[in-house]
Amino acid sequence: MADVLHRLSLRLSRLTVTLAGILVYLFLALPVVVIVLSAFSPEPYPQFPPQGLSLRWFEALLQDPAWIESLWVSLLLLAIVTPLTVVLGTFAAWSLARLNFRYREALQAFILSPLMIPQVVLGIALLYVLTAAGIAGTLSGLAIGHAVVALPYVVRTVSVSLAVMDKRLESVAMSLGAGRWYTFRTVTLPLIKPGILAGAVFASVTSFGEVSVSLFMTAPGTITVPVQVFNYVDQTFDPTVNAISVIFIVIAILLLMVIEKTIGLVKLNQTG
């Protein structure tokens, strides 16, 4: 009798955990479902469930020069910020992990400080600095601001890969006559590739969705998609924003598929 009650208790516990997990997933997925279905509504305002299906708002999105320009600016920033932060973050993480020098901890805290500083404060600070340098409101200024925000993510993910990597492999390579740079290229880089890829993903997502810092540094010709969404929602209320959100969701799904085919989501999660 005690064994039967114990097995019944275990089954009930598993069922409770399973139901709780399903409810959590439904809670997270429901807003996405609402946004996607509302984007195909033919009505001039978001409606759920939609009374019909239409591509009206996707056509409006592609025909609006403001959306096209903001999308172009965001993609251009993405193409600049992602490789820049990956290169700088990888070398910074390697230097912090392998080199011994004074004030190493202070330098690491300085690099990671954007993770702890409120985004509004960081945006105001960057506005003052970039204005003094004469590049506030330019694409270069935006790229610098986004790089400052995204760099800590690359440093953290690459640092994790370096921490779990066997340092003896580097020592063996150098003991056989390989220089430090050759060892870094042929031994270290392949082993920390998951951390680099994870950092690139985090940097891309951070740059593409950055709004707090961008609000302080955008100009009429350098408005990013998040800032455009912020301004659009403040002025109008139609499903065009839902349409751009659907495009972002599709891009995110494609990105996850690429990561799964290359290194796998489980390995990426362990690295992050």
Instruction: Write out pLDDT tens, residues 43-88.
Output: 776 666 777 777 777 887 788 788 888 888 888 888 899 899 999 9
**Helix extents (H) in the chain:** 2-39, 56-63, 65-98, 104-112, 119-133, 139-164, 167-175, 180-183, 189-191, 193-209, 212-217, 225-235, 240-262, 265-271
Per the prediction, the chain carries an average pLDDT of 79
Percent of the chain with pLDDT over 70: 88
pLDDT of the residue at 47: 66
pLDDT of the residue at 84: 92
Q: Contact at 8 Å (CB) between 217 and 142?
A: yes
Global pTM exceeds 0.85 = no
Q: Which residue has the higher pLDDT, 49 or 196?
A: 196
Span of 70-84, 200-214, 226-240, 253-267 with lowest mean pLDDT: 253-267
pLDDT of the residue at 85: 92
| Residue 111 in this model has a pLDDT that exceeds 60 | yes
Q: Which residue has the higher pLDDT, 263 or 49?
A: 49
Mean pLDDT of 224-246: 78
pLDDT of the residue at 194: 80
From CA 13, how far away is CA 32, in angstroms rounded? 30
pLDDT of the residue at 258: 67
Mean pLDDT of 144-162: 87
Mean pLDDT of 209-222: 80
pLDDT of the residue at 267: 52
pLDDT of the residue at 4: 59
| Residue 148 in this model has a pLDDT that exceeds 60 | yes
